[in-house]
Each structure stands twice: as structure tokens, then as C-alpha cells.
Amino acid sequence: MKILAVSPHLHSGETTPVLMHAVLLALTPALLAALIFFGWRAFWLTAVCVGAAVLTEYLAALFFHKKNCLNDYSAVVTGLLLAFVLPPSLPLWIAALGAVFAVLIVKELFGGLGQNIFNPALSGRAFLLASFPVFMTSWTAPFDALTAATPLAAGLKIDEWSMFLGNIPGSLGETSALALLLGAAYLLCRKIIDWRIPLGYLGTVALFMYLAGQNVAFHLLAGGLLLGAFFMATDYTTSPMARRGKWIFAIGCGILTSVIRLWGGYPEGVCYSILIMNMFVPLIDRLDEAKSK
């Protein structure tokens, strides 16, 4: 008798720890860039988010009498990704609260790895943004502690080279496009992520902004679009399984991101766009399954 475990189903022979190790390695350039641009604030914010995520997962396993899954490193990835979407100046206790919410509420209460509906890191960010909007929209410029607005928030005309390198105000791990693209190239070469989602996501935003008369390069480099397209939207658990479904999911994320950026009350649309499309993943998979029969 064959036993089928819950999703995600990996057919390549890659284990979850191996995949998580690959993601952590791919995120290393962005982490180094954050340490360069934001210094010790980046170190402590990352340490608190990762530590709180790991501790929460450990205590949740004890409370729910489940097998301890710390050795799959998924909590480390969640904590690191959460840190990457937070302002460097955020009080550490707020960052820890976001990590607890991401792991306990979004992941463990849904059954653990592979059963959560929403992306944990982005859910943690959305929770903190709703709970502490002032702290979550206070940014600091690289290399100093001066308050500054992000390019999207202020509509600043920053040269694309600075945005590409990451020498701009923004969330901890979102500013350096170069670092994110290096990590993304590694994941694509290893075939850890499917190219359809980031291509469909970025391509939709580029086309939408071009038709709207916007600066395409600015919108591709600004905010959390690259981080979201390569590291958030491609999450195995919260993205569609079939190829057609991946295109639908990616295009939906791109349209929502563009609409929120252009006409929404909040300048950045990546977080909410991915979370909204996460809700439709079961339906997209069901439709793909029905059409394949």
C-alpha cells in the first residue's frame, strides 16, 4: 500500500532541508547587502526574527504534541524572509511578535509545513502593518539613522543604478536588486523554483506599467517586487502546482500589484497581491485538475 503525505509533494528526490538550505544560500547575497547598507540594525532584526520563528515552532511542537521539525529549516527561512520585508528601524519586540504570528497563527494552526494557505512571512508583515502602521512605514536611509521615504512612497526620482545596487531607503532585504537577482539565478539554475511565476509576475507588471505610461524600470526595481516574485510567490505550499495554474497565479499577482501601486492608498502592492492570490490557489488547482481529466 502506498502512503501519500500532505503537500508539498516533491518528485525530484530533493528533501525539504535540502530545499530550505538552497533558499537560505540564495538569500545570503541580500542579507550581506542589508548588513552593508543598514549595519547592526540589520543583524539584530534578522537575529530576532529568525530566533523568534524557531522558538515558536519548537514550543508549538511541544504544545500540540507533534514531531519537532526544526531540522527542516523552514522556520529559519520564514524568519529571514520576514526580516527582509520589515523596516530596519522597527523595534525588535514588534519584529518578534510578527515572527510569532507568522509561525504560530499562519503555519502551525493550519497544520504545519505544507498545509498553510497563506505565505507566513508576508502574513506576518501584513499583521504588523495593520497593528503598527507608524512603525511599519518609518524608513531609514542606508549608512545612517536619518528618516527617509522609500522611492514608491514619495514618488522619488532615484537613478536606476542606486536602486539596482540597493543604496536607497526601504525594507531590510528588498532594496538591492543585484543581490536578489544573484540569489534568484541560483534557485533557477538549481531548478528549486519554477521560472513561470517570476516571469509571469514581472512581465505582467512591466506590461501594465508600460501601458499606463509609467517608468517600467522604476517599478521593477522599487519596493519588494523582485523579492516577492522570486522568493515569496514561488513558495511550494501557497502557489499552484500545474503549469497553467502558475501562469494564472503570476498574472493575477502582477495585475493586483500594479493596480494597488497606481490607484491604491498604499504605495506598495506586492504583499497584499500575493496574499490575495494565495486564497485562490486551491480553486486554481481544482480547475486545473478538472480540465486535465
Residue 283 cell numbers, joined: 480553486
**Predicted pLDDT of residue 220:** 94
Q: What is the CA radius of gyration of the chain?
A: 18
User: What's the rounded Cα separation, in Å, for the pair 81 and 136?
Assistant: 16
Per-residue pLDDT of the chain (293 residues; tens, 9 = 90+): 334 444 444 445 568 889 999 999 999 999 999 999 999 999 999 999 999 999 999 999 888 888 777 788 899 999 999 999 999 999 999 999 999 999 999 999 888 878 899 999 999 999 999 999 999 988 777 866 555 556 675 555 667 788 888 888 889 998 899 999 999 999 999 999 999 999 999 999 999 999 999 999 999 998 899 999 999 999 999 999 999 999 999 999 999 999 999 998 777 899 999 999 999 999 998 887 766 66
Whole-number pLDDT of residue 97: 98
List, in order of start, the domains of the chain with CATH numbers. 16-292 (1.10.3430)
The identity of residue 33, as a single letter, is: A
pLDDT of 33 reads 95
What pLDDT, on the 0 to 100 scale, is given for residue 9?
44
Question: For position 8, what pLDDT does the model report?
Answer: 47
> Which pLDDT value is given to residue 146?
53
Q: What is the pTM of this model?
A: 0.90
H helix runs in 14-170, sequence order: 16-38, 40-63, 74-84, 92-100, 120-131, 133-136, 151-154, 160-165
What pLDDT sits at residue 161?
82
pLDDT of residue 79: 97
Per DSSP, the three-state class of 266 is: coil
Look at residue 145 in the predicted model and tell me its pLDDT. 56
Q: How many of the other CB atoms lie within 10 Å of CB of 88?
A: 26
Q: Are 139 and 50 in contact (CB under 8 A)?
A: no
